[in-house]
Amino acid sequence: MTALRALVALAVVALATVLQVSLFPHFAWDGIVPNLALLVVVGAALVRGPQFAATLGFVAGVLIDLAPPADHIAGRWALALVVVGYLAGRARQDTRPTAIATVLTVAAASFVGTSIFALSGLLLHDPVVGVGEMLEVILVALVWDVLLTPFVLPPVMLLFHRLEPAQVAYR
């Protein structure tokens, strides 16, 4: 990966994180905001594959973990987004994904990522919400992420597709 590709990927994740922690709290639904960083990681996974997406997921997760007003043990989102990037990248097909497959991938990734974050809080004795409220948070986060999919994923996927190096034909 060239330095330019890495800088563009970092800039997209940083922009998503800034919007997620500064703008979207004003539109929160029961205090829950959409996870734009997760959507960027899923978009990268569908275009570039599991290795790139897992690496980008780690960077995105660390940014979310450290961005104010983080009130949890650092590393929980990093773990969740690494797993999301890897799994979504493994779901990638060599053909262009359909809209339904993309939305289903986002829904699964949102469920997995939010669940890992919530369960890691229980394991580390760092719960922000109780177990009963956790299911509601996971469901609302999933709905938010699916609703924003048509607005976020197409430009993100186009950007990562354009950043992808040209395939070399071997004889």
What is the domain range of residue 52? 2-164
Q: What is the model's pLDDT at position 1?
A: 57
Residue 169 pLDDT exceeds 70 = no
Rounded CA gap, 48 and 28, in Å? 31
In a domain, 171, yes or no: no
Mean pLDDT of the chain: 88
When pLDDT is averaged across residues 83-109 and rounded to a whole number, the result is 89
In a domain, 169, yes or no: no
Residue 106 pLDDT exceeds 90 = yes
Model-level pTM greater than 0.75?
A: yes
In a domain, 70, yes or no: yes
- What CATH number is attached to the domain comprising 145? 1.10.1760.20
Burial string for 115-153 (b: 16+ CB within 10 Å, else e) reads bbbbbbbeeeeebeeeeeebeebbebbbebbbebbeebb
Rounded CA gap, 112 and 100, in Å? 18
Rounded CA gap, 18 and 79, in Å? 19
Q: Express each pLDDT in 121-168 by its tens digit.
A: 888 887 666 777 888 889 999 999 999 999 999 999 999 988 876 544
**How many independent structural domains does the chain possess?**
1
Q: Which residue has the higher pLDDT, 164 or 99?
A: 99
